[in-house]
C-alpha cells in the first residue's frame, strides 16, 4: 500500500499557526518602531540606524536574559500577559545600571506546539514594556519545535542593545567611602527566586495558582506574576542630576551578591536592615518555608529591586527627586572601607 507523502505538518509543525502568530506579533512590534528602525518585521536581519546620535565617544551596551521558572507560574495560571513585560524590564535594568539608554530589543519564543493566542499575549507584554521604555522591538524568533517542550509550555528569552557615551558609563569608579545607598522599591519577586517560591507555595503549602494566599489577599498566581519593574526613569533622573555614581540591579543572588558588583576593590556596603518597607510576600514565604534570613537575602530582593549609589551627603537630595516622580525609595546604607561584600546591621 502506498504511503501518504510525509509533510512538515505531519511531523508536528503547523505553518498556519506560525503565520497567524507572526501576523499578530508583527502588529504589536510595529507600534514600538521609531524613525531609526530601517527594516520591518520579516527581514532576515533587523536594521537600526545610529546616525546623528550626539555622543562624543559612543559605545554599545548589550544584555541577554530570560524570566526563569516564573514561566512555570504562567503555565499553571494560564496567564501570559506579564512575563513579556518582565523580560524587557529586566534587560533594560541590566544595561541602565551601566549608564546606557536602551535602543532596541529582540525576543525568542519557542514552543512544542505554537498557540497563536498565547504567543500574542506574551508579545503584547513585550510590546507594552518596549513602549514604556522607548525601546524598538525590531525582531526576534518564533519557533515551533515538537518534542522539545511539554504541551502548554514554552521558552522565552530577550536581547537588548543600548548606547552610552564612554565618559558617562557607570563603572563604579566614582564610588568612595561615605557614598550613600538608596534602595528603590520592588513590586514583588521580580524574576528571581522562583524555584524556591514555587516549592514553598505549591509544594509545601499545597496551593494552586488560583488559590488566595493567607496574609496576602491575592492568589498565588497573581502575587508571583507581578511585573518586574523598570527603573530606567529613576536612574536617568539621578544621573541627569549628577547624583548617580553607580547602581546595582537586585536580581539572582539578592542584595548579598549584587550590591558588591558596583563597588571598587577595597570597599564594602553596610546595609541597615529594617530601613525599607519589606513586602509582605517575603515574610509569608519565609514563614511557610522555614527559610533562614541569610538565605532569604541571598535568594530574593526583599522589597528592593535596585540600589543607587549617590555621593556622600546627597541621599536627601536623591530621595527628594525620586519622591517627586512617585518613586518609593529609602536610604538603606553606606559604602565603607572593607574587604568587599555586604555587612548587614540589624
pLDDT per residue over 234-279, tens digit each? 999 999 999 999 999 999 999 999 999 999 999 999 999 999 999 9
8 A C-beta contact, residue 104 and residue 138: yes
User: In the prediction, which pLDDT does 13 show?
Assistant: 59
Q: How confident is the model at residue 4 (pLDDT cuts 50, 70, 90)?
A: low
pLDDT tens per residue, range 11-40? 565 656 666 667 777 888 888 988 898 977
Distances 337 to 275, 313, 328, 331 between C-alpha atoms, Å: 21, 17, 28, 19
Please, what is the average pLDDT of the chain? 93
pLDDT for 6 beyond 60: no
254/177 Cα distance (integer angstroms): 22
Task: Name all domains of the chain by residue range, CATH numbers in brackets.
Answer: 9-168 (3.30.1330.10), 180-345 (3.90.650.10)
Query: Over 70: is that where the pLDDT of 8 sits?
Result: no
Are the C-beta atoms of residues 333 and 270 closer than 8 Å to each other? yes
Q: Note whether 67 and 54 are within 8 A (CB).
A: no
**CA–CA distance, 77 with 111 (Å, rounded to integer):** 17
d(CA 217, CA 197): 17
Amino acid at each position: 500500500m502506498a504511503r501518504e507523502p510525509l509533510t512538515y505538518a505531519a511531523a508536528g509543525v503547523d505553518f498556519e499557526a506560525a503565520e497567524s502568530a507572526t501576523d499578530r506579533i508583527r502588529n504589536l512590534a510595529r507600534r514600538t518602531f521609531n524613525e531609526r528602525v530601517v527594516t520591518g518585521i520579516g527581514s532576515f536581519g533587523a536594521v537600526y540606524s545610529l546616525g546623528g546620535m550626539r555622543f562624543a565617544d559612543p559605545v554599545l551596551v548589550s544584555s541577554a536574559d530570560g524570566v526563569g521558572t516564573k514561566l512555570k507560574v504562567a503555565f499553571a495560571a494560564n496567564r501570559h500577559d506579564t512575563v513579556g513585560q518582565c523580560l524587557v524590564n529586566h534587560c533594560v535594568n541590566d544595561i541602565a545600571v551601566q549608564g546606557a539608554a536602551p535602543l532596541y530589543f529582540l525576543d525568542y519564543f519557542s514552543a512544542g506546539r505554537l498557540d497563536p493566542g498565547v504567543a500574542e499575549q506574551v508579545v503584547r507584554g513585550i510590546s507594552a514594556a518596549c513602549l514604556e521604555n522607548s525601546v524598538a522591538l525590531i525582531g526576534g524568533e518564533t519557533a515551533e519545535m515538537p518534542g522539545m517542550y511539554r504541551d502548554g509550555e514554552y521558552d522565552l528569552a530577550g536581547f537588548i542593545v543600548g548606547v552610552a557615551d564612554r565618559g558617562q558609563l557607570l563603572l563604579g569608579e566614582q564610588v568612595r567611602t561615605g557614598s550613600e545607598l538608596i534602595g528603590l522599591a520592588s513590586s514583588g519577586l521580580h524574576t528571581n527566586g522562583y524555584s524556591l517560591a514555587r516549592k514553598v507555595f505549591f509544594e509545601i503549602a499545597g496551593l494552586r495558582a488560583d488559590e488566595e494566599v493567607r496574609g496576602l489577599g491575592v492568589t498565588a498566581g497573581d502575587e508571583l506574576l507581578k511585573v518586574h519593574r523598570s527603573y530606567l526613569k529613576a536612574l536617568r533622573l539621578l544621573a541627569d542630576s549628577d547624583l548617580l555614581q553607580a547602581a546595582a540591579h537586585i536580581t539572582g543572588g539578592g542584595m548579598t551578591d549584587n550590591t558588591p558588583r558596583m563597588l571598587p576593590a577595597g570597599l564594602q556596603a553596610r546595609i541597615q536592615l529594617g530601613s525599607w518597607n519589606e513586602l509582605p510576600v517575603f515574610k509569608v514565604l519565609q514563614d511557610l518555608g522555614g527559610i533562614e534570613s541569610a538565605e532569604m537575602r541571598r535568594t530574593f530582593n526583599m522589597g528592593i529591586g535596585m540600589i543607587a549609589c549617590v555621593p556622600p551627603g546627597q541621599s536627601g537630595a536623591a530621595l527628594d527627586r525620586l519622591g517627586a516622580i512617585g518613586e518609593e525609595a529609602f536610604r538603606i546604607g553606606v559604602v565603607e572601607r572593607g574587604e568587599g561584600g555586604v555587612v548587614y546591621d540589624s
